[in-house]
Structure 1
Amino acid sequence: MNQVIGLTGGIASGKSTAADYIREKGYPVLDADVYARKSTAKDGPAYPGIVEHFGSGILEEDGEIDRRKLGAIVFNDSKEREVLNHLVHPEVRKLMDRDKAEALSESHVFLDIPLLFENGLDRQCDITLTVYVDQETQIERLMERNSFERSEALARINSQMPLSEKRERSTEVLDNSGSKADLFDQIDDFISSIEK
């Protein structure tokens, strides 16, 4: 029987690298961030509520939401982040659930969801899989990837559930402290185990 696998991690933990590799292996990976972008686009279902709450100052000239401006607000204010999540997450869930039902008839399905545990979506999964790195590695990777100052990187990391907690709550863990090849080997092992 096909299973729903919740794939999660933290910012700069390597979750996207893992998701891309799983996709290359031929499995459907439904990415919550892609659905979030769809739902917050100018013609998306969450857009009107976001603009109404946060104001037109978060918009680019073409009317699309400037994700960096919105991010600067919500990553430094947990109340505002809650408002945004309340507007976006139900829409993301609707879109994802529709595609998940369709894909499950064909194969195991991976749900790539950064806030898997935070939003209680782990309860919809047969297996939860966390891509883990220690915090110092996470900070360094994020600073390098996004040209963030250390304080900016920490604000982003601290806005999420600690990876150590996600690791504790997960059925399975992919340790991404080593090389990409190490990560891919762990994914191969995991896929072999679910295919048995």
Structure 2
Amino acid sequence: MIKTLQIGITGGIGSGKSLVCKILACLGAPVYDADSHAKNLMTTDGILISNIKKEFGELSYNTDGSLNRKYLSATVFNDADKLEKLNSLVHPRVAHDYARWLSEHSNHPYVVKEAALLYEAGSYKQLDRIVVVTAPDELRIERVVKRDPHRSKEQIRAIIGQQMPQEEKMKRADFVVVNDETTLLIPQILGLHAAFLSMPR
């Protein structure tokens, strides 16, 4: 049986990994956005909801069942141990959901898993190849300010400070995509697509 290649795409906040994934999706690759699925699971997965309430209290959820993001963010943002605890509850449920999704898309030559914390969560170990998307920090900050006007530059710098440094991710990557708005992006992605299709399975 021909195996479906599992490609991980990661990069720091504002690097443009979602853009790279959108272009690969246009080329026919199924994309699993781990961050979006995580947000969804936090309000639909009974096991995860129960664990979050147990660890962080009933205030973690609003009366309508939606996630009380303000409360949870305030609780974990400046506390590395609590953030790690929250991630340790979320990541296994995302892994479980991804396995289900993968079985539904196993007829494709390759699939893409997009995740900001691919290395930090350890999920890179289950993937065949890793692509890291990079961009200069100041450009990343500018992009996020435009995308998320509610965030200040200081908050974005704090998030960058909490993520694994780009240099470290690049060292571990199988492929690096430079998204600095001067290097052409599409040829890099077409090159990746061709490489993935030609890899032995």
TM-score normalised according to structure 2 size: 0.87
Correspondences of 1:57-72 after superposition (within 5 Å): 57-72=59-74
SS at match of 2:47: coil
Contact 1:22-1:187 within 8 A present in 2 as well = yes
SS at match of 2:184: helix
Task: Return the letter of the residue paired with 1:107.
Answer: P
> Structure 2: which 5+ runs fail to align?
none
Task: Return the letter of the residue paired with 1:166.
Answer: K
2:169 to 156, 160, 166: 166
Partner of 1:49: 51
Query: 1:173-195 CA distances to partner (integer Å, 9 max, x unpaired)?
Result: 1111116x922221111111222
Note if 1:93 corresponds to 2:95.
Answer: yes
Separation of aligned partners in 2, 1:144 and 1:61: 32
Aligned-pair CA distance for 1:108: 0.5
Separation of aligned partners in 1, 2:129 and 2:180: 22
Aligned-pair CA distance for 1:43: 5.0
Separation of aligned partners in 2, 1:56 and 1:183: 45
Q: How many residues align?
A: 195
Change (3 A) 1:136 1:55: same
Separation of aligned partners in 1, 2:113 and 2:71: 27
Partner of 2:129: 127
Query: 1:127-180 CA distances to partner (integer Å, 9 max, x unpaired)?
Result: 10011112222222222321222221112122211122111110001111116x
Contact 1:128-1:172 within 8 A present in 2 as well = yes
Correspondences of 1:6-21 after superposition (within 5 Å): 6-21=8-23
Separation of aligned partners in 2, 1:25 and 1:59: 39
TM-score normalised according to structure 1 size: 0.89
Separation of aligned partners in 1, 2:15 and 2:46: 29
Task: Return the letter of the residue paired with 1:51.
Answer: K
Task: Return the letter of the residue paired with 1:3.
Answer: L
Aligned-pair CA distance for 1:56: 3.2
Task: Return the letter of the residue paired with 1:155.
Answer: A
Identity of aligned pairs, percent?
34
> Structure 1: which 5+ runs fail to align?
none
Runs of 4+ with deviation above 6 angstroms: none
Partner of 1:176: 179
Separation of aligned partners in 2, 1:15 and 1:182: 15
SS at match of 2:97: helix
Separation of aligned partners in 2, 1:113 and 1:157: 15
Separation of aligned partners in 2, 1:167 and 1:15: 14
Separation of aligned partners in 2, 1:134 and 1:149: 18
**Root mean square deviation, CA, Å:** 2.0
